[in-house]
A and B are shown apart, each in its own frame.
Chain A
């Protein structure tokens, strides 16, 4: 079945440093979505990418979808303490009737 893997599992950065999390799928994806879950909270939808090679930006966050539509990344520039949380990617295999599969998440800690 479809597997979505995320690395790293944990990341500690000093405030102001950059952060990147990577998402890899065992199958080609129709789309990739990214979510953020603050400690003690629920996942919140950030963005969806659907096109091969697509790049989208939200302020300090840059999202990329790979050319082969099997991988994605989220890059945060100059992290702030408000960026703390777990970032999940999620996708659906192309041509599949299955539902969204979530990656295991990357837990980001930002040290002040």
Chain B
């Protein structure tokens, strides 16, 4: 069966520090991969998606970047965190965009 792993679960980082969040999927090949951000009590904002290795699409301009170095690995990064980067970051995968998404357990990032 397919599983998605996301870590760390919580993270507290100072302003200006770098960020690297990792997500891996098991049990499937060539999945669509997504990074979402959820502000407290708010909806889900799509940050990046990838339909294949090295293929990254950005939905909103921001202080973040994403990479897909392997088929089932998706990484969210920042060189210098801002206070506004705080939030709940969720990785998700789907077979393709018209299928249901499976979300990871998320990373709660607090930038202080």
- Residues of A at the B interface (CB closer than 8 Å) are 30-31, 33, 35, 41-45, 48, 88, 90, 92, 99-105, 107
State in angstroms the CA–CA spacing of A103 and B105 once bound together: 20
Contacts of B103 in A (CB 8 A): 42-44
Task: Let me know if B49 is at the binding interface, CB within 8 A.
Answer: yes
A18 to B36: give the CA distance in the assembly, Å: 31
CB–CB B97/A92 < 8 A: yes
State the total of A-B contacts with C-beta under 8 angstroms.
44
**Considering only CB atoms and an 8 Å cut-off, how many residues of chain B contact the other chain?**
19
Shortest Cβ distance from residue B1 to the other chain A in the assembled complex, whole angstroms = 14
**In this complex, which of A33, A42, A101, A102 has the most chain B Cβ atoms within 10 angstroms of its Cβ?**
A42
- The reply on B104 being an interface residue by CB < 8 A is yes
- The answer to whether B98 touches A102 (Cβ under 8 A) is no
Q: How far is the CB of A6 from chain B (nearest CB, A)?
A: 8
Output the least CB separation between B56 and chain A (Å). Answer: 13
User: Known: A43-B44, A88-B43. Is A100-B90 also a contact (CB below 8 A)?
Assistant: no
Q: Which residues from 34 to 82 on chain B have a C-beta closer than 8 Å to any C-beta of chain A? A: 34, 41-44, 46, 49, 59
Question: Considering the chains assembled together, what is the distance between the CA atoms of A51 and B90 in angstroms?
Answer: 29
Question: Are A42 and B90 within 8 A (Cβ)?
Answer: yes
CB distance from B97 to the nearest CB of A (A): 6
Cα of A30 to Cα of B99 in the assembled complex, Å: 11
